[in-house]
Amino acid sequence: MRVAVTIPYFDFFPELKAELARRYPGAKFRTDRHRLSEDQFIEFAHGHDAAVIGIENFSDRVFSALPELKTLSLCSAGVDHIDPTLLNKHGIRMWWAAGINKTSVAELTVCLMILGLRRVHEFSSMLHRGEWKGPIGFGGDLRGRTVGIHGLGHIGKEVAKLLQPFGVKLIACDRVDISDFCRQYNIESVSADELWARSDVLTIHLPKNSTTIGMYTPEVLAKLKPGMMLVNCARGMIVDETALAAELQSGRIAAACFDVFAIEPANNNPLLKLPNLFASPHIGATTLESWAAMLRSGMDGVEKPWEPQVGVYPFD
């Protein structure tokens, strides 16, 4: 098996890199960390049977230029950058493990809830500007609030588990039957409209696909409970950012905590200028533990790929 490793992060985990090299003699590793263009990917992966990848995007011309390539093993948390139709056309199988980074993303989610409610980012910025000269206002407690979870998959479930000691009322919405999990963790299963109307804190844990892109329209954002806080550690493009900015500026949505954005890097995003937005640069999975797990999954997945099916999870 000739393996091309296009994801560059194995350098941070030399033991994993050495293990992969022993398992697949002659494995080819990248030495830089810029995102590969299609031509660069073609050149790098030429002559290889399998590629261990991150979030590269592929067009038909890439696979047409790499007839030997028959396996893609993903180290990524999601698959929204993969087109199963193209893989099937070229006879390419894939590996991907769902929920591989669920602990790290769930911990960040709960962290953002508390930071946002306590307005830590606002008060910290005030301190750095030398404006701590008297009463600085109030934050709020998480305890006693109604927390809504939109999407009770791997990460959403982990968030629910982490919130058990906080004394919150948990409600959740998902398109599949979540009744067993809800009974186990004292969660009320509700409709989307009820989730939007009742949540003091609403956290989004939906995949990015044709059914969720643009889901949080201006009309949906107008349905959210006045004074609530919105958290998104899932994917960009699920929430209409222009409409969110208007809601934050008016104060109808009191605060938002976002780790993901429609366009990344989000350095020039107007949302970042709003004092009631707490933002982080897509760091949900950037822990040593998560990356070690994702890289190992990608390494192991070379030997156990499966055939993707359009309309079947995770491409439903």
Q: Which residues are catalytic?
A: 235, 264, 282
Q: Which residues are CB-neighbours of 183 under 8 A, at least 6 positions away? A: none
Round the CA-based radius of gyration of the chain to a whole number and report it: 21
Which strands, in side-by-side order, build the sheet including 228-232? 187-189, 169-173, 146-150, 201-204, 228-232, 253-258, 277-279
Amino acid occupying residue 32? D
Length of the chain: 316
Which strands, in side-by-side order, build the sheet including 93-95? 28-29, 3-5, 50-53, 71-74, 93-95
87 within 8 A of 72, measured Cβ to Cβ: yes
- What residues does 257 pair with on adjacent strands? 231, 278
Q: Of 54, 31, 149, which Cα lies nearest the Cα of 100?
A: 54
Q: Give me 297's structure tokens.
A: 């999954």
Amino acid occupying residue 59? S
First to last CA, the chain: 31
Q: Do β-strands 3-5 and 28-29 pair in parallel, antiparallel, or remain unpaired?
A: parallel
Over the range 169-183, which residues count as b (16 or more CB within 10 Å of their CB) and which as e?
bbbbbbeeebeebbe
| Three-state DSSP class for residue 41 | helix
Amino acid occupying residue 54? G
